[in-house]
Amino acid sequence: MTLRISVIGTGYLGATHAAAMAEFGFEVLGLDIDPDKIATLTAGRVPMYEPGLSELLLKHVAGHEGSTGRLRFTTSVQEAAEFGDVHFVCVNTPQRKGEFAADMSYVDTAIDGLAPYLTRPALVVGKSTVPVGSASRLAERLAALAPVGAGAELAWNPEFLREGFAVQDTLRPDRIVVGAHSERAERLLREVYAEPISAGVPFMVTDFATAELVKAAANSFLATKISFINAMAEVCEAAGADVTQLSTALAYDERIGGKFLNSGLGFGGGCLPKDIRAFMARAGELGADQALTFLREVDSINMRRRSRMVELAREQCGGGFLGRRVAVLGAAFKPNSDDIRDSPALNVAAQIQLQGAQVTVYDPKAVDNARKMFPSLTYAGSALEAAEGAHVVLHLTEWAEFRRLDPAELGAVVAERRLLDGRNVLDAEAWRSAGWTYRALGRPS
C-alpha cells in the first residue's frame, strides 16, 4: 500500500514539500492553522512567488481538471493525524524577539497538537531548522503524549532548499540527511525518498544532533563565505583594488570555488541571518560559544555593507539626503523571490528615507510585500519610472531585468547620471560610456 504523508505547516518549505511528495506518487495531506492559506493552496494558487510551484500544485491538488488528486489541504490536526503514516513538520522557527535564539513555539505546538491523536504507529519527521538538541527533547515529548506511546517515533531530516529554486531543490536535493534512531524510521524515509535516491542523490543516516548540526553548519559556512568576500571588499576599498577581479581569481582555485563568493550588499532573507544568530545562542547554552565567536564577525561584516551603501549614496548626493531623490532597484532579499524578510535592499532604502531623501523603489515581484512593511517608501511600476528625476540610482537586488537596462534610456529620465551597483553585476563600462558615474562596493571609483 502507498504511504500516506501529512505535511504540517504549508509555508515555503511545507507547500513545496507537500507538492513534491505528491509528485513522488504519495497521497498527501497538507495542514495549516491559517484557513486563508489552506483556501489559496486548495485553489491551486501559491501565496508567494516561487517559480514552478503553482504548476506542481495544479498537477496534484484534488479537484482540478487533469490533476492526480493526490494532494489535499486541511486545517484539522485530527484529520492529518489519522491520515498520515509519516508526518513532516515544516513550521518556521523565527528569531525570538529581542534575542538571538530561535523561537521554537511553532514546532512545539505542532508536536503537542499532533501527538494526542496518534493512536497507531507513525513516524514524525522534523524538517524545520532547530537548535541542536531539539530532536531528542521532542522525541521524548512525542512518545509521552501519543496514545500509541513509543509507536510514535521521531526522525530529523533538515531541509536545504533555496528560495527561488525550492521545487528543484526539493525534487532533486544535493543530499538527504536523516537523523534516525531505528531501522523502521530509516526504512520509511528510504521509501519516501526512493525516487531521488534511485537518481543518485546521497542519503546519509546519522544521529539526531549531527543531523540538526548539518543545517546550522551549512548555513554558517555559506554566510561566512559571503562575509569573507565582503571583508575583502572593505580591504579593496581601502587599498584601491577591485574585489570582483579578486573573487574571479580566487574562484579558479577549485578548493575555494566561485559559488557564494559574490561581493556586494551581503546576505539577508528568512534563513541565513537568523540561523547564524540562533546557532551562536545555542552554542552559548552548550558552553561552546568560543567556537562560534567568528559568526558574530560574519554578522557584523554583513551589516556594515548596508551602512557603507548608505554612506556611498550620501556622498553621491553631495553629502546629504535632504531634498534628494533616490531610486532603488530591488526590494526582495534576492532575485527570483518576492520575500522581503531582512532584505538588505529595503534596509538601505528605509535608512536613506529616514535621513530625508525621497526614495522610490521598484522590484519585479516584491513591491506588494514591500509596501505592506514600508508604506512610507514610494513604489514604482518599472525601473524607468523609479528613476525619474533621481539624483542617484541604487541597484540593490540583482534581478536579470536590471542587467538588461539601457543606460542611455535611464539616463534620459534621471536628474543626475549616478549609479551605485550594490551587487557588482552591472556592466560598469557600458554605464560609464553612457555618461554615468558608476560606483560599486569594493571597487575603485
Cell numbers describing residue 193: 525518498
Instruction: Specify the stretch interacting with ligand UDX by CB under 6 A; choose among 55-63, 115-123, 233-241, 264-272.
Output: 264-272
Residue closer to ligand UDX by CB (options 100, 260) is 260
Instruction: Specify whether the CB–CB gap between 368 and 316 falls below 8 A.
Output: no
Q: How many residues does the chain have?
A: 445
Residue closer to ligand UDX by CB (options 72, 306) is 306
User: Of 57, 65, 59, 55, which Cα lies nearest the Cα of 18?
Assistant: 57
Give me the sheet containing 392-395, strands edge to edge.
378-379, 358-362, 325-329, 392-395, 418-421, 437-440
Residue among 267, 279, 321, 379 that touches ligand UDX (CB under 6 A): 267
Q: How many CA atoms lie within 13 A of 157 on its CB side?
A: 27
* Three-state SS at 179: strand
Instruction: Give the C-alpha separation, 97 to 290, whole Å.
Output: 24
The verdict on 86 binding ligand UDX (CB under 6 A) reads no
> Side chain identity at 9, as an amino acid letter?
G
**Phi-psi bin for 430: left (phi > 0), alpha (psi -120 to 50), beta?**
alpha
Instruction: Specify the stretch interacting with ligand UDX by CB under 6 A; choose among 65-73, 91-99, 187-195, 261-269.
Output: 261-269
Instruction: Specify whether the CB–CB gap between 103 and 282 falls below 8 A.
Output: no
Instruction: Specify the stretch interacting with ligand UDX by CB under 6 A; choose among 46-54, 56-64, 267-275, 288-296.
Output: 267-275
Residue among 124, 130, 261, 327 that touches ligand UDX (CB under 6 A): 261
Per-residue mark of binding to ligand UDX, 128-167 (x: CB under 6 A): -------------------------------xxxxx----
The verdict on 271 binding ligand UDX (CB under 6 A) reads yes
Residue closer to ligand UDX by CB (options 346, 419) is 346
Residue closer to ligand UDX by CB (options 180, 276) is 276
> Side chain identity at 233, as an amino acid letter?
A
Residue closer to ligand UDX by CB (options 40, 347) is 347
Residue among 9, 30, 264, 364 that touches ligand UDX (CB under 6 A): 264
- Compute how many other C-beta atoms are within 10 angstroms of the C-beta atom of residue 389: 12
Residue among 49, 333, 362, 438 that touches ligand UDX (CB under 6 A): 333
Residue closer to ligand UDX by CB (options 42, 92) is 92
Min dist. Cβ of residue 334 to ligand UDX (A): 4
Min dist. Cβ of residue 173 to ligand UDX (A): 10
Residue closer to ligand UDX by CB (options 267, 374) is 267
Residue among 334, 365, 439, 443 that touches ligand UDX (CB under 6 A): 334
Active site residue 271: yes
Instruction: Specify whether the CB–CB gap between 241 and 222 falls below 8 A.
Output: no
Instruction: Specify whether the CB–CB gap between 328 and 361 falls below 8 A.
Output: yes
Instruction: Specify whether the CB–CB gap between 114 and 143 falls below 8 A.
Output: no
**Phi-psi bin for 236: left (phi > 0), alpha (psi -120 to 50), beta?**
alpha
- Count residues contacting ligand UDX (CB under 6 A)? 20
DSSP code, position 287: T
Residue among 62, 96, 260, 425 that touches ligand UDX (CB under 6 A): 260
Furthest-apart CA atoms within the chain: distance in Å: 73
Instruction: Give the C-alpha separation, 15 to 318, whole Å.
Output: 48
The verdict on 345 binding ligand UDX (CB under 6 A) reads no
Contact set with ligand UDX (CB under 6 A) = 159-163, 219, 222, 226, 260-262, 264, 266-269, 271-272, 333-334
Active site residues: 271
